[in-house]
Structure formats: structure tokens, C-alpha cells
Amino acid sequence: MADVKIDKTVDARGAACPGPLMELIKAMKSEDVGTVVEILSSEKGTSVDAPAWLKKVGQELVSVEQKGDYWSIVAKKIK
Amino acid sequence: MAKRIVIVGGGAGGTITANLLARNLHHELTTGQVVINMITNTPDHVYQPGFLYIVFDKVRSEEIVRKQRDLLDSHINLFVDPATKIDREHNVVHTQSGKEYPYDFLVVATGSRIVPETIPGLAEGGHFFYTLESAKKLRDALKDFEGGKVVISVGVPHKCPVAPLEITFMLYDYFKHKDMLDKVELQYTYPINRLHALEPVANWALPQFEGKGIKYEVLFNMEEVDPVKKVLKSMEGVEMKYDLLITVPPHKGAPVIEDSGMGKNGWVATNKQTLNNESYTNVYICGDTTDIPISKAGSTAHFEADVIAERISSQIQEGSTSTRYDGKVVCFVETGFDEATYVWFNYKNPPKPTPPSKMLHWMKLGYNRLYWLSAKGVL
Ligand SMILES: Cc1cc2nc3c(=O)[nH]c(=O)nc-3n(C[C@H](O)[C@H](O)[C@H](O)COP(=O)(O)OP(=O)(O)OC[C@H]3O[C@@H](n4cnc5c(N)ncnc54)[C@H](O)[C@@H]3O)c2cc1C
């Protein structure tokens, strides 16, 4: 994790709608291949849902980390 | 010299901001200390939520289109001349006709637009209802539809997060009224792992879907459409046959944003409380074109417009400002042809929907008319 450079962070903490998973989908669809995106979420569910979706669509999960009262999900667009 | 305020985009956010500024700064405007110039790209102002009702023949286009000039305070100058470049280093907006509009304060409210062309086959194979023409085309296709599988699918990102559910419930009632429910299969799909982004709305919708026999597939993100075989494919690997495909295509911001180097895909970096564009304290971003991770909705644009108008007025009159946007969004959700529900939330308070009622439906219909007062800054 320490050596991965994050290109973009979306702070979706407290964002009820469209919410962290939709922000991740948006980033994976619109960023360039190779981009590393971090999504911050205050919903515990995102720490499970986001990795599951990334796996389903074949994108790379870099890390999931709890940071106090929120979660950081880092993903890389690989295709 | 007069302080110049330039507003780019004469939709919901731009119009409300302009009219509120004209009210707050009435004295400065009438004494020549302030000038407000609005730059937009069409002489008409369209009430977009009306498209949903066009689909079901419930309103006519004349009811949802007004002249932009008629909505603006007479002290506001209106230029129908699309902005082609926003130059934040020199505080000037360039337009298609070659004119330059220098500013002391700038409000960018250029909205968002559908880009079906970003999904192969979608423009040819899918119906939409996010423009007046496409809503009319869908209305006509529905009139001719004799039965089969109707697939509803949703692109990311998109404005009006409640519209996909609303169109689904309204389609159900439409086919019910036409006595066609036995001939039609309604299949809803949604990008994330529940029926709607707002969890309480998703929880409420689930038993409704089950009771009405509406099928659903979640974690479904459109990847490709085969308009000949009539198949929609998702990024998640699901293939779905359809007879009628109704979609909310993915959105982008206005081309002028990317052309001005202000943000990829037309989304502008915006401080979620001050609504300033990055470090530019004289540049404000309003409505759909912000990159704030909240609902792209008319109500969002409206509450942001309140904050922006207050901040600019205070910066001009008092030299500083402390007003902040708290993330407030309010949505009425049509749950069929005669009931609706209502949700509100902000950065700190999650949404709690009210049980659907006929009264909330009438309130939504009422708001469809009252919108024109909102745009004028009265409501
Ligand atoms: C079918 C549908 C249903 C909806 N229902 C609801 C609802 O129930 N509740 C709700 O709150 N919201 C709803 N919305 C969303 C709402 O209409 C938008 O979120 C709102 O209009 C956003 O306001 P805005 O000012 O950011 O953009 P807009 O209102 O889209 O205005 C943008 C303006 O900028 C102009 N423009 C663009 N490029 C340029 C340029 N280069 N130069 C000059 N001008 C330019 C455009 O012509 C337009 O006038 C709905 C939308 C649709 C499509």
C-alpha cells in the first residue's frame, strides 16, 4: 500500500446518494487505465461491497483499510 | 468601476442564483455598482422533471418550456451565446460569437447531459427520457408497444437519482391502465447492490417490486447493446434480452468545462461547503457540474444557488462571507400515477422516507407548476 501512489481520492463519507459504491463505479468507468482511486466511506458495507464488485468486473483491489470511523478503499483501473 | 458578475448556464441553478443576486444587490444594480451578465446557449428554459410526464402523455411540451428572458429579473443582462472557454487566470469568459466577458465573480452552472454514445449500441438500441425529443420518442414507442420484455437500465453517473424508480413505477401503472400487465414483463436493473442508492428508498421499493411482479437485477452496469439481436450486456457479465430498452444513459458535464481545462468529463473540483472552485475564491460552481459526491438534482442546484448568491452578495457588500452549504437535498419520488413519497438529507443527516401518499403526489404535481416561481427566486 505504502508504495502505491493514489491519483484521485473521492471523499464519499456521509454521502447518502449516490453513495460510495456508485462513486467507485463512476471512477472505474471514467478514469484512464492505470489510475489509482481511493474512495472514503463512512458505511462499513462498502468495505465488503466494493471489493466484491471489483472482483466481479475484473478490476484490481489495492487495499481496504479501516481508519477510525471510516473506510478507505483503494482500487486500480487495469482495463 | 462596477463589479461584474458573470453566470454561465441559464438552467435551474444559474437562473435561481441570478435572480437571488438581483434581489440581494438591487441597490447596487440600480446605481450601477454591480452588473450581472448571464451567458447561456438557448433562449428557452426547460423544466426537465417534466420529461417524465411527457412520456406518459400527462403534460404537453408548452407546459415545461418558457423563455429564459421572462424568468430573469429585468436588471440581469442575458446573452444567448454559448461559452467556449472559461479563463480563470485572466477572469474572462469567451463565447462562440467571439465576445469576451470579464468578471469579478463567476458562477458556472452548465449542468450535465446524457452521453449514450459512450456505450456501444446504446444510441441505436435504447430509448431515453432525459431530453424533450427522446421523451416524445419513447412516448410514441410505448403507444405502439404490443407487449414483451421492457428492460430499464441506468448509467453512471446520472442526474435525478429517483427517476429510474419513478419511470418503473409509472410504467407499471401505464400498462395496468392499458390492461396489458399480462403481456408485459418489467425488468429493472441498477448499478449497485440494491434497488436504489438511498438505502431506505431501496428497502421501501423491494416489497413494492415483489408485490407488483417487477423483476430486478442489481449490480448491473451497461457495457454494450446489440440493437439487432436486442441484447443488453453488463460489465458484470450478464446478457439480457429486451423488446423495449429504456435507459438513463451515463452523463458528462458540458464540453466547455473540459475545453477550459476545468475538469475531466465536465465535472469541476468544488469545495463541498464554500462551493468555490479549488482556490479560486471568486469562482463558484453550482448544480450538476460540481464534482461533489451528492445527488445531481434540481433541489441540490437550488440549495447551492441560495448559498452562492448569499456568499457573492456578502463578498460585495461586506467584503467577506461565512455562509456554507450543508449538503441539503430534497426529493419527491413518484411511486406510481397517484402516490408519491418524499426524502430529504444533508451531509450529516441520512434520509428517512415518508410513507407514500396521494397528498405527496399532489405536492409533486404542484411543484411542477411552482418551479417557475422557484426559478424566479420567489420560492
Ligand atoms: C427526467 C428528469 C427528471 C428529473 N426530476 C427531478 C426531480 O424530480 N427533482 C429534482 O430535484 N431534479 C430532477 N431532475 C434533475 C434536474 O433537472 C437537474 O439536476 C437540474 O436541472 C440541474 O440544474 P443545473 O443548473 O445544474 O443544470 P441545468 O438545469 O441542466 O442547466 C444547465 C444550463 O447550462 C446551459 N449551458 C450548457 N453549456 C453551456 C455553454 N457552453 N454556454 C452557456 N450555457 C451553457 C444549458 O443550456 C442549460 O441551460 C430531473 C432531470 C430529468 C432529466
Average pLDDT of the residues of chain B: 96
Identify the domain containing residue B167 by its residue range: 115-247
| pLDDT (0 to 100) of residue B226 | 98
Minimum CA distance residue for ligand 1 atom 53: B130
- At B132, list the grid cell: 424533450
At A56-66, the pLDDT tens digits run 999 999 999 99
User: In the predicted model, is pLDDT for residue B5 greater than 70?
Assistant: yes
Q: If residue B101 lies in a helix (H) or strand (E), which one and from where to where?
A: strand B100-102
Whether residue B303 lies inside any domain: the answer is: yes
Same domain membership, residue B225 and residue B119 = yes
pLDDT surpasses 70 at A2: no
Interface test with A, best of B112, B217, B219 (most A CBs within 10 A): B219
Instruction: Check CB contact of B362 with chain A, cutoff 8 Å.
Output: no
Helices (H), chain B: 12-24, 26-30, 51-55, 61-64, 68-71, 122-125, 132-144, 163-177, 199-212, 255-259, 298-317, 358-375
Find the DSSP H helices in B126-228: 132-144, 163-177, 199-212
**Inter-chain touch A17–B235, beta carbons under 8 Å:** no
Ligand 1 contacts CB of residue B170 (under 6 A)? no
> Does a structural domain hold residue B379?
no
**Do the chains contact at B197 and A17, CB–CB below 8 Å?**
yes
For the cut 70, the answer to whether the pLDDT of residue A1 exceeds it is: no
pLDDT digits (tens, 9 = 90+) for A12-57: 998 889 999 999 999 999 999 999 999 999 999 999 999 999 999 9
- What pTM did the predictor assign? 0.97
- Domain count of chain B? 2
Out of B249-253, B310-314, B344-348, which region has the weakest mean confidence (pLDDT)? B344-348
Distance CA(B56)–CA(B334), nearest Å, equals 13
Q: Is residue A2 part of a domain?
A: no
CATH of the domain at A41: 3.30.110.40
Q: Which of B312, B329, B346 is the last residue of a domain?
A: B329
Our mutation pick for probing the ligand 1 site, out of B6, B17, B48, counting the most ligand atoms within 8 A of Cβ, is B48
Burial B114-142 (b: 16+ CB within 10 A, else e): bbbebbebbbebbbbbbebebbbebbeeb
Give yes or no: A17 in active site. Answer: yes
B-contacting residues in A 7-46 (Cβ below 8 Å) = 10-12, 14-23, 25-26, 29-31
Specify if B365 maps to a domain.
Answer: no
Cα of first residue to Cα of last residue in chain A, in angstroms, is 20
Write the pLDDT tens digit of every residue in B140-159.
Answer: 999 999 999 999 999 999 99
pLDDT of residue B354: 84
**Which domain does A28 fall in, by range?**
8-76
The percent of residues in chain B predicted with pLDDT above 70, rounded, is 100
Domain check: are B27 and B69 in the same one?
A: yes
Query: B82-95: b or e for each residue (b if 16 or more CB lie within 10 Å)?
Result: bbeebebeebebbb
